[in-house]
A = this chain, B = another copy of it.
Amino acid sequence: MSLQPVLDRIDADLPAALERLMDLLRIPSISTDPAFKGDCDRAADWMVADLASMGFDARKCPTPGHPMVVAHHKGPEGTPNLLFYGHYDVQPVDPLNLWHRDPFDPEVQEENGQRVIRGRGASDDKGQLMTFVEAFRAWIAVHGALPCSITVFLEGEEESGSPSLIPFMRDNAEELRCDLAVICDTGLFDSRVPAITTMLRGLLGEEFTIRGPNKDLHSGSFGGAAINPLRVMAKALASLHDETGRITVQGFYDDVPELPDDLRAQWQGLAFDHEKFLGDVGLSLPAGEQDRTPLEMLWSRPTCEINGMWGGYTGAGFKTVLPSEAHAKVSFRLVGQQDPFKLREAFRDHIRAHIPADCTVDFHGHGAAPASVMPVDDAAFEQSRAALTEEWGIPAAYIGCGGSIPIAGYFRDILGMNAMLIGFGKDDDQIHSPNEKYDLDCFHKGIRSWARILARVTA
State the A residues within 8 Å of B (CB): 201, 203, 205, 207, 212-215, 217-228, 230-231, 233-235, 237-241, 274, 277-278, 281-288, 294, 297-298, 301-303, 305-314, 317-323, 326-327, 329, 331, 333, 356-358, 366-367, 401-404
A231 to B233, CA, bound (A): 12
B215 touches A281 (CB 8 A): yes
A235 to B245, CA, bound (A): 12
For this chain, the copies found in one complex come to 2
A320 touches B205 (CB 8 A): yes
B310 touches A310 (CB 8 A): yes
Chain B residues near A218: list those with CB within 8 A. Answer: 403
A366 to B318, CA, bound (A): 7
Contact of A329 among B221, B281, B286, B318 (CB under 8 A): B318
Contact of A234 among B234, B298, B357, B367 (CB under 8 A): B234
Considering the complex, give the chain B residue whose CB is closest to the CB of A297: B224
With A318-B307, A333-B220 already in contact, the answer to whether A287 and B402 are too (CB < 8 A) is no
B333 touches A285 (CB 8 A): no
A63 to B313, CA, bound (A): 33
A314 to B325, CA, bound (A): 14
Chain B residues near A238: list those with CB within 8 A. Answer: 231, 234-235, 237-239
A220 touches B201 (CB 8 A): yes
A287 to B231, CA, bound (A): 11
B297 touches A230 (CB 8 A): no
A219 to B298, CA, bound (A): 10
A285 to B285, CA, bound (A): 42
Considering the complex, give the chain B residue whose CB is closest to the CB of A219: B305
A322 touches B305 (CB 8 A): yes
Contact of A223 among B212, B231, B402 (CB under 8 A): B402
Chain B residues near A366: list those with CB within 8 A. Answer: 317-318
A281 touches B356 (CB 8 A): no
Considering the complex, give the chain B residue whose CB is closest to the CB of A280: B214
Considering the complex, give the chain B residue whose CB is closest to the CB of A335: B224
B307 touches A310 (CB 8 A): no
With A222-B281, A285-B357, A358-B284 already in contact, the answer to whether A306 and B312 are too (CB < 8 A) is yes
The 7 closest A-B pairs by CB, nearest first: A220-B403, A214-B282, A238-B238, A308-B312, A234-B237, A224-B297, A227-B287
Say how far A210's CB is from chain B's closest CB, in angstroms: 12
Q: Could you pull out 11 A-B pairs where Cβ atoms are within 8 angstroms?
A: A207-B318, A223-B402, A225-B274, A227-B283, A231-B237, A237-B238, A284-B357, A284-B358, A306-B312, A308-B313, A319-B329
Considering the complex, give the chain B residue whose CB is closest to the CB of A300: B224
Considering the complex, give the chain B residue whose CB is closest to the CB of A221: B402
A459 to B314, CA, bound (A): 54
Say how far A304's CB is from chain B's closest CB, in angstroms: 9
Contact of A303 among B223, B239, B404 (CB under 8 A): B223
B320 touches A234 (CB 8 A): no
A298 to B326, CA, bound (A): 23
With A225-B294, A306-B230 already in contact, the answer to whether A281 and B213 are too (CB < 8 A) is yes
Say how far A318's CB is from chain B's closest CB, in angstroms: 4
Say how far A212's CB is from chain B's closest CB, in angstroms: 7
B219 touches A307 (CB 8 A): yes
Chain B residues near A239: list those with CB within 8 A. Answer: 238
Say how far A421's CB is from chain B's closest CB, in angstroms: 15
B306 touches A231 (CB 8 A): yes
Say how far A218's CB is from chain B's closest CB, in angstroms: 7
Chain B residues near A367: list those with CB within 8 A. Answer: 318
A140 to B228, CA, bound (A): 52
Chain B residues near A305: list those with CB within 8 A. Answer: 219, 223, 228, 230-231, 320, 322
Considering the complex, give the chain B residue whose CB is closest to the CB of A234: B237
With A218-B403, A225-B297, A226-B278 already in contact, the answer to whether A329 and B358 are too (CB < 8 A) is no
B283 touches A226 (CB 8 A): yes
Chain B residues near A298: list those with CB within 8 A. Answer: 221-225
